[in-house]
Structures are given as C-alpha cells and as structure tokens.
Amino acid sequence: MALPDFTMRGLLEAGAHFGHQSHRWNPKMAPYIFGARNNIHIIDLAQTVPLLHQALKVVSDTVAKGGRVLFVGTKRQAQEQIAESAKRSAQYFINSRW
C-alpha cells in the first residue's frame, strides 16, 4: 500500500501547525516549536514533514509484518474519525477518556 502524500502547504492548510497554548507545553518539544502567536505555539512544519514521513514508514512496516497499531484520540472532534479509521484498517482504538 502506498503511503499518503502530503506537503507542508497541505499541513498548513489543515492547521497542523497549531500547537497547545504556550503555557501548557512540554519543554522537550522546544526544538520543534517555530514560535508562538496569540499564546499558541506554532509547530515547525519544516521539521514535521520529514519526521511524519518517517513515522508513517514505521507504521506501514509494522502493519506489513502483521503488527498492530493503536489509534488514540479523545478529543470530541476526533472521536468518530478515530473509530472509523481504526475499524477501516482493522486496528484497535481508544476514543474516550480511560
């Protein structure tokens, strides 16, 4: 199966660059934060794109070898999409607080 194709522009249009509020962050994320605007961290998409490709390759290889993937997304906006995506790919999911 081919990996999804995405670009920095596509991620930008999808809002993938918006992080958490700047007072709610993990200092270990500092190298990946481009800056802050209106007290929201802006994620550095120049680093995100290659790392996302790398992560997708690992997931793809894991599934190809018969491994399992756990989809996790407990935000109300994502719950239905998490469940649908996991079911469609015959994987596990958690979409509510545990």
Q: What is the DSSP string of 53-86?
A: HHHHHHHHHHHHTT---EEE--STTTHHHHHHHH
The 10s digit of each residue's pLDDT in 14-52 is 999 999 899 999 999 999 999 999 999 999 999 999 999
What is residue 2's predicted lDDT score, i.e. its pLDDT?
77
Q: Which residues pair with 88 in a beta bridge?
A: none
* pLDDT value of position 6: 85
- Give the architecture (CATH level 2) of 1-66: 3-Layer(aba) Sandwich (3.40)
How remote is the C-alpha of 25 from its chain's centroid? Answer: 16
pLDDT digits (tens, 9 = 90+) for 52-73: 999 999 999 999 999 999 999 9
Whole-angstrom Cα distance, residue 20 to residue 26? Answer: 10
The kind and range of the H/E element at 93 are: strand 92-94
pLDDT of residue 70: 97
Q: What is the mean pLDDT of the chain?
A: 93
Domain boundaries defined on the chain? 1-66, 68-98
